[in-house]
A and B are shown apart, each in its own frame.
Chain A
Amino acid sequence: MALFMGAGSDDTRFVVFELRLPRTLIGIFAGLSLGLAGALMQSVARNPLAEPGLLGVSSGSAFAVAIALAFGASTATLSVGLAQLGALIGCFCVIGVAQMQGQRNDPIRLVLAGAALSSLLIAMTSLLLLYNERAADEIRFWVTGSIAGRNVEQLLSLLPSFAIAIACVVYVARPLASLALGERVAIGLGYKPGRIRLIVVFAVALLVGAATAIAGPVMFVGLVVPFAARALVGPDIRRTLWLCLPIGPLVILSADVFSRLVAQPAEMPLGVLTAMVGAPVLLAIVRAHRLPTL
């Protein structure tokens, strides 16, 4: 508190305002974005396992960023739009793959399709890095997911698209809740399911792209956050979305604090930590006798 009043040594001020504050803000931002995106995807896919990281949306975004880096961009000037475009393409790829034949509403099927797509994109990203040393240095830390070493200006550049995404979420929450009652019921209530899904995919791409641009492809946050929210307030997407707002940042920030503590004086990348927590949660959901109907 005293710091905000202008007290404290220069060193402390530097640590708080130049390192910790941006890092915390970015953590809040990434947590909000990924939590909301996960909740939206799970609702629209009727699948508690649908998660931007697992389904290759984050990897699509990361791949787009890697291409940009390979062609001379730097992480500091990285275009958010590019990461969002990559996320959008990732969304459409996984929807396409998942609908290719067979039983469409099998939750595991969508995750398999996503895992395949994700692996492919990660492999292609690695290939790019292999051939481009400069990009490799820029991206190596970023690609594991981290909220360290970014500045507030980068965060500010994400705000316009974040605002659009939030507007989409506000608009789509009620229709999306009715879509949980089945497509025909939603039509009967005067909604257009195709349009609802399109807006959701658009919002997810904006959110995941922005989060990926600033924090790298952080896995499992989009899985764990809505999972916790649903456990607390039940399946209605409107309540889930509200609850993701505090839980998302909470998860990322505690993971970040922890990632600084476990490997002192070095840091463990945030993405590694979320994967270590998220993967067991994923297994627990799959192992649960019955997947919840969304």
Chain B
Amino acid sequence: MSQSDTVSLGAEALTLKHGKTTIIEGLDIRLPSSKVTAIVGPNGCGKSTLLNGLSRIHAPSGGAVLLDGKNIHKLPSKEVARRLALLPQDTIAPDGITVSELIRFGRHPHQSALKQWAMSDQEAIDYALKAADLSDLQARLLDTLSGGQRQRAWIAMSIAQETPLLLLDEPTSALDLGHQIEVFELIRELSEEGKTIAMVVHDLPSACRYADHIVAMKNGKIITQGSPKDVMTKELVMELYGVECDLIPDPMTGSPILINIKRVKS
């Protein structure tokens, strides 16, 4: 990965509000480059809001999101889109769109009304199809695919965007176990190729298994962050979810697994 491809994304004293309700106040974060960061926490802790803030969808009421040290809202949006790709949770695809038509949208930030299609676009599309293992399905209608394939197609759109940064909001929340693994493994592969990735994840064991860096949030604040082995403790699970459990290392991978889970009555 060349020098120009490394980017940094972070926030300083970030405050995000929904109307008048403050969701996040004065938060600092920096995504470790070329790593997978998982943002975890209970419902309503502000993790999706943080992701939306980092991806310039949610404008801050205070502080700033910094892309390569520059305020993301001061950069031209199209320029940001060449460095940062985003997969929101609530994707909607029009009926009758094919896989390759969807992936082609990923090239928009690299095109203009005058320069609509170049060789580099086709190469990026072919690469994305291959990376997401969709080459055989490219002519299929999106709504005829399985949930996992469909999500891979959306991720392929982000791959075609050729950005060093990729943000995903609950990329596996609607998927069954097999499809979840399919998507997580694709995310791992992308990170191994040098992408900096941040994702909101609900499932703690998956976050530990597939992320290099965990950011644990509660009430709009980051409680702790670090490698899964360092931060994942039974005390943290208790604090985040009010759930008692024991942690044991996965015999195959060493990543923490939750057992003996009990809800603590408050």
Contact = CB atoms under 8 A, between A and B. Distances in A.
Interface size bucket, B side? 20 to 34
Interface stretch (A6-14, A64-72, A177-185): A177-185
B84 to A, nearest CB: 8
Nearest to B143: A293
A171 B87 CA distance: 25
Contact of A234 (B78, B96, B109, B111): B96
B229 interface: no
A235 B85 CA distance: 24
A190 B109 contact: yes
Given A188-B85, A188-B86, A234-B97, A171 B113 contact: yes
Nearest to A192: B77
A292 interface: yes
A235 B102 CA distance: 12
Contact of A182 (B84, B91, B108): B91
Contacts of A192: 77
A178 B108 contact: yes
A170 B52 CA distance: 30
Interface string B100-111: 011001101101
A187 interface: yes
Interface residues of A, number: 22
B230 interface: no
B211 interface: no
Given A174-B108, A181-B91, A184-B90, A190 B97 contact: no
Interface in B42-90: 52, 55-57, 76-82, 84-88, 90
B95 A293 contact: yes
B93 interface: yes
A181 B93 contact: yes
A190 B91 contact: no
A151 B113 CA distance: 36
Nearest to B169: A184
Contact of B81 (A180, A190, A235): A190
B94 interface: yes
B92 A235 contact: no
B78 A188 contact: no
A178 B103 CA distance: 11
Contacts of A182: 88, 90-92
Contact of B91 (A185, A187, A236): A185
Contacts of B93: 181
Interface string B146-178: 000000000000000100000000000000000
Contacts of A191: 77-78, 108
B91 A235 contact: no
Contacts of B161: 189
Nearest to A294: B94
Contacts of A187: 55-57, 77, 86
Nearest to A237: B94
Nearest to B78: A190
A185 B77 contact: no
B94 A235 contact: yes
Contacts of B80: 190
Contacts of B108: 174, 178, 189-191
Among B81, B85, B91, B92, the most chain A Cβ lie within 10 Å of the Cβ of B92
A196 B90 CA distance: 20
A192 B78 CA distance: 9
Interface in A59-99: none
Contact of B97 (A174, A188, A235): A235
B86 A293 contact: no
Interface in A272-294: 292-294
Interface string A149-193: 000000000000000000000110010011011101101111110
Contact of B95 (A174, A178, A188, A292): A292
A189 B91 contact: no
A185 B57 CA distance: 10
B172 to A, nearest CB: 18
A91 to B, nearest CB: 23
A56 B44 CA distance: 41
Nearest to B86: A188
B75 to A, nearest CB: 10
Among A174, A178, A181, the most chain B Cβ lie within 10 Å of the Cβ of A181
Given A184-B86, A187-B56, A187-B77, A235 B95 contact: yes
Given A189-B105, A189-B109, A190-B79, 5 more contacts: A182-B90, A188-B81, A235-B96, A235-B97, A236-B97
Interface of A: 170-171, 174, 177-178, 180-182, 184-185, 187-192, 234-236, 292-294
Interface of B: 52, 55-57, 76-82, 84-88, 90-97, 101-102, 105-106, 108-109, 111, 113, 161
Which 3 residue pairs across A and B have the least CB separation, nearest first? A190-B81, A188-B86, A190-B78
7 contacts: A174-B108, A180-B92, A184-B90, A188-B85, A190-B78, A190-B81, A191-B78
